Amino acid sequence: MIPEILLNIAFAESKITPGTIIQLLEKKTFRSTEKVPPLKAGDVADPHKHTNKTELYLPLMGAGSLKVQFNGTGPIHTFAPNPNVIANLDLTKIGAKTGGDKVPTLVYDGKEYRPETPDGNIINMSLEDGGVAQFIVVKPGDIHDFVNTGISPASVYALTLGFAQDTTKSIDGDFITHQFNKNASF
């Protein structure tokens, strides 16, 4: 629990790709603080980047989003949960890794999924029901924040997989507080 930014994290190491951390993120709302309004968005904001850690984000549900400024420059992209994607993901069958070419790879149920291009920011994983789960690739240097924009006390959830871009280096403590580029647009 990280109360100052209203974030709860449940995590475990992947059985499929040891060294990869699987996280279920729960971001609460301003209303769940029981503080007297008005609160500012900055009160629970947490924009940050990593130096070696790559993360694959799958927004699951709720009135929130993942905001990413790729390479720390340019526009800020917003990715919201898709309410039409209902998946029965078995977390004992999921993992992620970086190959020798440093392209992130999602592993699920013995299959590997990669972005359409080596510099791509989306990994599409086919689901059993015919749908597609879109994982957002957040690479080292990408400024990002998982935010809850809801006005009710309901939480927003995401599944993330975190792993080393350079497998010779650790991801322990790989967190740098940062701000979105002030000239960026949403």
This prediction's pTM: 0.84
pLDDT of residue 143: 92
| Any domain includes 184 | no
- Structural domain tally of the chain? 1
Tokens for 69? 């400024």
Residue 175 is predicted with a pLDDT of 64
CA angle 55, 58, 60 (to 5 degrees): 145
Domain that holds residue 145: 3-177
Residue in the block written with tokens 């790989």: 174
In a domain, 110, yes or no: yes
Q: What is the spatial distance between Cα 114 and Cα 36, in angstroms, rounded to a whole number? A: 45
Specify if 185 maps to a domain.
no
> Is 182 within the bounds of a domain?
no
CATH of the domain at 74: 2.60.120.10
Q: Please list the pLDDT of the chain residue by residue as tens digits (186 residues).
A: 666 667 788 899 999 999 999 999 888 876 666 665 555 555 556 788 888 899 999 998 888 889 999 998 889 999 998 877 767 788 999 999 997 788 999 999 999 999 999 889 999 998 888 888 999 999 999 999 988 877 777 888 999 999 998 877 777 776 666 566 655 544
Residue 72 lies in a domain: yes
